[in-house]
A = this chain, B = another copy of it.
């Protein structure tokens, strides 16, 4: 059957010859910001849907997987994460997960487009429920410039929760930015970045590995997780660590965590690092 514009939001991944359709009830909002086009839809079965430049950013129904996996693995992999910055993440969902960690003393959300956050407050209030936490800080502006001004060794964890590597986010996927992050990380500090689909975007992942290794990180590893409303339904995030290997995590504390998660568990944490054979082959370090 064909999918018409009236009843379906459709995102095509033209480089992959595939498309995702979500059945919609109505388009609730549409605006062109200085940076991008943002739309909000009411869907039949996925709650609300935010779209930026034609790409699904999140739905009410399945964003929990992405947000939990962008926050908890990297934070439990760090021995004592106190100072955290999120680059992007304007919907505030990653910030909410980060602030579930009592070790965190200060968390910045550095989002280029304030309209993303204002629309999240209106349409996804559940993601913004930690925005008034006194540890939460907001800066609306360019993440690359923010990082360039950050002091040496001033952050334990950097989370790059950005759109795809085209448009405003392109500069967040290169060795120059990774070197800046390396300077700003404390010894043993960790960076994590959303890194697209292992099935569809292996070229981007290989380039990311090369750029992170070239920037001087001691170790790079990827975690995988399902994300139904992103192309292929299979997504990833890639960690890079300063000075040390990415080995083990605070498993006991993860098991004893007092906060609620719907996707993340300590077992899921460990499992997420088990990437498939073809992926390990593609990103293995050259000797």
Binding site for B on A (CB under 8 A): 1-5, 8, 10, 12, 15-23, 43-46, 62, 65, 197-200, 224, 226-229, 232-234, 261-265, 267-268, 270-278, 280
Provide the bound-state CA to CA distance between A14 and B286, in Å: 47
Question: Are the CB atoms of A199 and B62 closer together than 8 Å?
Answer: yes
**Would you mind naming 26 contact pairs between A and B with Cβ atoms under 8 Å apart?**
A1-B5, A2-B2, A3-B12, A10-B21, A12-B21, A17-B43, A17-B44, A18-B45, A18-B46, A19-B22, A21-B21, A198-B226, A199-B226, A224-B226, A226-B232, A226-B233, A228-B232, A261-B277, A263-B276, A263-B278, A265-B274, A267-B273, A267-B274, A268-B275, A268-B276, A270-B271
Distance to closest chain B CB from A72 (angstroms): 11
So how many copies of this chain end up in the complex?
Answer: 2
Distance to closest chain B CB from A200 (angstroms): 8
Distance to closest chain B CB from A189 (angstroms): 26
Question: Are the CB atoms of A21 and B23 closer together than 8 Å?
Answer: no
Question: Are the CB atoms of A21 and B20 closer together than 8 Å?
Answer: yes
Which B-chain residue is minimally distant from A43 (CB atoms)? Answer: B17
Q: Which residues of chain B have C-beta atoms less than 8 A from A21's C-beta? A: 3, 10, 12, 18-21
Q: Which residues of chain B have C-beta atoms less than 8 A from A23's C-beta? A: 17-19
Report which of B17, B45, B234 forms a contact with A17, defined as CB distance below 8 A: B45
Provide the bound-state CA to CA distance between A16 and B21, in Å: 11
Which B-chain residue is minimally distant from A62 (CB atoms)? Answer: B199
Provide the bound-state CA to CA distance between A229 and B197, in Å: 13
Which B-chain residue is minimally distant from A1 (CB atoms)? Answer: B10
Name, among A10, A271, A278, the residue most crowded by chain B CB atoms within 10 Å (CB to CB): A271
Distance to closest chain B CB from A172 (angstroms): 25
Distance to closest chain B CB from A2 (angstroms): 5
Q: Which residues of chain B have C-beta atoms less than 8 A from A227's C-beta? A: 233
